[in-house]
Amino acid sequence: MRAYYLDTSVAMRIMLGHSIEAARWFDNATADKECRIVSSRLLRTEITRVLRREGLPVLDRG
């Protein structure tokens, strides 16, 4: 099994649609049963901070 670390900058690029490549990687990695995506426990907090700073709905963080 392969594990990939998802940091805040990549997560935000995916969420905000700023990187097609990152979104494609994420879709492929999550579809692969041999892959596991891990992140910091702070990811949700960091995403919330960015969404608030940008004036975007916090509920978009999932």
Tokens of 35: 């892959």
Question: How many domains, in total, are found in the chain?
Answer: 1
Average pLDDT over residues 5-30: 94
Average pLDDT over residues 28-44: 95
Query: In sequence order, what are the residues at sequence separation of 6 or more whose Cβ sits closer than 8 angstroms to the Cβ of residue 39?
Result: 5, 6, 7, 11
Signed CA dihedral, 6, 33, 61, 12: sign only: positive
| Rounded-to-integer distance, Cα 2 and Cα 28, Å | 13
Query: In sequence order, what are the residues at sequence separation of 6 or more whose Cβ sits closer than 8 angstroms to the Cβ of residue 40?
Result: 7, 8, 46
Task: Residue 18: give the domain boundaries.
Answer: 2-61
Identify the band that residue 26 occupies on the pLDDT scale cut at 50, 70 and 90. Answer: very high
Entry pTM: 0.79
